[in-house]
Structure 1
């Protein structure tokens, strides 16, 4: 009988000791390699960033070669801060403090796009504009949306977000959700429209 009590007490003592041992263990393992969260740093940071894109026009009928080649400004991108992540597998530029893009047509007339945040993906020529995105064309048209994607290669802009489009030429205001259009807003395809919209009849 005494032996069975001793066995019980020793078993209880072992269980309590093991429990205390496991509860006192803490995870002091330092994460390394693939387990650690990798910090991503830009290869370059530019303040008061300005990027100007030009296009060279070949003027026919002029004999002087230097006079024939005339360049004109096509796009000017301005931002308080630009982070260059060219070192990544999918290289891109970010504009965490917003950006303004001015683009000029052949007549030199300016249209602008502004946003609170922007990403330019180098490989795909796609620009992701986020937060208070506003497009104002040279003829007074205005588009507002929380997010837009601009395909630079095809000069095409699209979104699935809500938008407001104001056209002073015909005095219309259109609210909708989802649309795609060309850069100068001469072609506009709205996926869904709603709200009050005035239409000018001929």
Structure 2
């Protein structure tokens, strides 16, 4: 195609998905570092970056995996989800759909939604959660959750007492 200033041709390109405010990438790997030390690595099959003067955002429509690393570059916790959105202004990632957050002690959190606050270095949700601690042989259900991103300290805001239908839980987190 040669250069053209015809409004119809430009409109046609824009309507076909060629928008200047959206950048798309495949097989994305984002590395966060502090003082030349890698702290977090994000993997995603697809990322869409929406540039907006007030609040740019990154959308991960086909899944996301975050790896949190210690000073020796060893992964100590992971966060996986079916979709996620990172808002630049708030520096938070909201992960949704079959969210799993787990650590190197084989402890696992499952929930339909989890927010990672990059500034505060915490993860939290007000949704239904299931925490499995394999070494203790313990599974806990509740509503609301808050933890450090290392997943070494956490709290459940409201533990569920009594019996729970596990199939109802599985439906709720998906």
Tell me which interval the TM-score lies in, with the shorter structure as reference length: 0.7 to 0.9
Give the aligned partner of residue 52 of structure 1. 31
Q: What is the count of residue pairs matched by the alignment?
A: 145
Runs of 4+ in 1 over 6 A off after TM superposition: none
Q: Give me the whole-angstrom Cα distance separating, in 1, the residues matched to 2:141 and 2:53.
A: 39
Instruction: Say yes or no: does 1:122 pair with 2:88.
Output: yes
Tell me the secondary structure at the aligned position of residue 192 of structure 1.
strand
Q: Give me the whole-angstrom Cα distance separating, in 2, the residues matched to 1:148 and 1:160.
A: 8
Give the aligned partner of residue 193 of structure 1. 159
Alpha-carbon deviations, 1:40-85, whole Å to 9, x = none? Answer: x5421111111112232xxxxxxxxxxxxxx332111011111111
Kept after mapping to 1: 8 A contact 2:68/2:150: no
Within-5 A mapping of 1:163-202: 163-194=129-160, 195=162
Q: Give me the whole-angstrom Cα distance separating, in 2, the residues matched to 1:171 and 1:107.
A: 30
- Quote the RMSD (CA, aligned, Å): 2.1
Q: 1:153 aligns with which of 119, 131, 134?
A: 119
Give the aligned partner of residue 91 of structure 1. 56
Q: Give me the whole-angstrom Cα distance separating, in 2, the residues matched to 1:166 and 1:49.
A: 30
Select the structure of larger CA radius of gyration. Answer: 1
More strand by share: 2
| TM-score, with length taken from structure 2 | 0.76
| TM-score, with length taken from structure 1 | 0.66
